[in-house]
Chain A
């Protein structure tokens, strides 16, 4: 039985007095690979932020796995949208990666050589060798996103939370990114937000459609009925020997 890392119960969330979605029940388990999809403005990022405790729910509860059960791992590794970051902030790439290991005893923690070595190793894995001394402002959007991925991975989190990781990543790295994620998924849960499942459709195990409401699909196969009910803006997907997308038999109606 896989352990539940985050449990959302009857959660409503939004900004001001306007809930983006209500009555959401969702569990994320330790080896899930959950794709959160939906149109822009539908509440995908809001759902991610509620899960991580960055936004307090208006109603309902968000519960986490207890500290005892995670053996010193952190619960979340977060890859935010690159546009949320101040690119002119004076901080080096290696420090950004190291910030992923931050704890309340930062000074003692950061001095440990093991984190420095791990940070260098992760940068190498991201194809950013010898970039550690550069400033974040000197990197391209795609490179910065890889730095954030390294930061999210350094604390060996239970869940990796990715907000639109494919929006900036160049095509060369996109394939590598998904290979890294698939490898990580052996012992790390992954939650990935995207408005375009595109290539990741063959990697995710489950899907949550977010469009002013949340509908959880416990598998990666979606029936036409669900599409109609929830107006999910995606193609049907399936897993197979080769990554591919499948559309179930459906009537074409004039738009």
Chain B
């Protein structure tokens, strides 16, 4: 098993998993705390439309995905604010439209597209140097932004109205945050795929939220859980010859169930002791 570490593709995969854990740990905590899971799902699926169009035009799908993700994120915001459409309805629209466009354009592209499945379910074993560089830069940007503006992010997420009475540029901050969410999603599609990326942004976080309720600690625990889960998922997929993305997600779910059962169990023991007293 150790022998696999000698291969460059596997080293890349490990590095990608660790970088994903960092960016998803931070951004996912924001998503879960602010209840943005559904919009994140919408952005993810809309970006598949961008992947399809980029394919058709013969450009790097990452750029197509990034464009589509940002457009859909801002589009949903715009439709909700300006045209009186309810947010979840607007999300439902970009969600399915993105998938439809993606499949049509990949269908129209000449020849068989072996990468379709890899975009739907991820292909961490084929990440390129460029992918890693982009994820590294995103990780640095996100860490720097969260360290320098942590309280601003936390306070605005908790109570936007209050922030506006303090003349904080709430709308600008929200656009910056949703852009970071979009870029995080796009770069992680490579690792676990369109359909599975949302669990990278939620499962470690809800597991961490069982252990602590402090925003800062949820971030740190999420990163740790995501690192442990993704690396063991990767090793599991290698040793059992399973697809890597789904293996990682299953490990995340297992960790969640484990922590949740331990919480239930200790809770019951505590209650019993309290009642006996």
Residues in chain A within 8 A of chain B (CB atoms): 16, 49, 52-54, 74-76, 78, 80, 84-86, 89-92, 95-96, 98-100, 102-104, 106-107, 110, 135, 137, 151, 155, 161
Contacts and interface: CB of A to CB of B under 8 A. Distances in A.
Contacts of A106: 149-152, 155
B148 A54 contact: no
19 contacts: A16-B84, A49-B161, A53-B164, A53-B165, A74-B166, A78-B161, A86-B158, A90-B213, A91-B215, A95-B155, A96-B158, A99-B158, A102-B166, A104-B152, A106-B150, A107-B147, A107-B151, A107-B152, A155-B166
B166 A89 contact: no
Interface string B131-151: 000000000000000011111
B163 A54 contact: no
A80 B34 CA distance: 18
Given A89-B33, A90-B214, A92-B214, A78 B155 contact: no
Contact of A91 (B35, B147, B158, B163): B158
A251 B213 CA distance: 59
Contacts of B215: 90-91
Contact of A151 (B148, B149, B157, B162): B162
A75 B214 CA distance: 30
B218 interface: yes
Nearest to A98: B151
A65 B153 CA distance: 28
Contacts, number: 78
Given A52-B165, A90-B218, A104-B168, A80 B150 contact: no
B20 interface: no
Contacts of A151: 162
Contact of B159 (A74, A92, A99): A99
A92 B214 CA distance: 7
B2 to A, nearest CB: 39
Interface string B1-40: 0000000000000000000000000000000011100000
B170 to A, nearest CB: 10
B123 interface: no
Interface residues of B, number: 28
Contacts of A89: 33-34, 157-158
A54 B165 CA distance: 7
Contacts of A107: 147-152
Which 5 interchain pairs have the tightest Cβ spacing? A99-B155, A106-B151, A106-B152, A135-B213, A76-B165
A104 B170 CA distance: 11
B5 to A, nearest CB: 37
A55 to B, nearest CB: 10
Interface string B72-91: 00000000000010000000
Nearest to A74: B166
Given A16-B84, A89-B157, A91-B154, A102 B168 contact: yes
A16 B82 CA distance: 10
B56 to A, nearest CB: 41
Given A85-B159, A102-B151, A107-B150, A90 B209 contact: yes
Given A98-B151, A104-B168, A107-B149, A78 B162 contact: yes
A49 B154 CA distance: 22
B117 to A, nearest CB: 37
Of the candidates B35, B159, B164, B215, the one having the most CB atoms from chain A within 10 angstroms of its own CB is B159
Contact of A80 (B162, B168, B213, B214): B162
B163 to A, nearest CB: 7
Contacts of B84: 16
Nearest to B212: A90
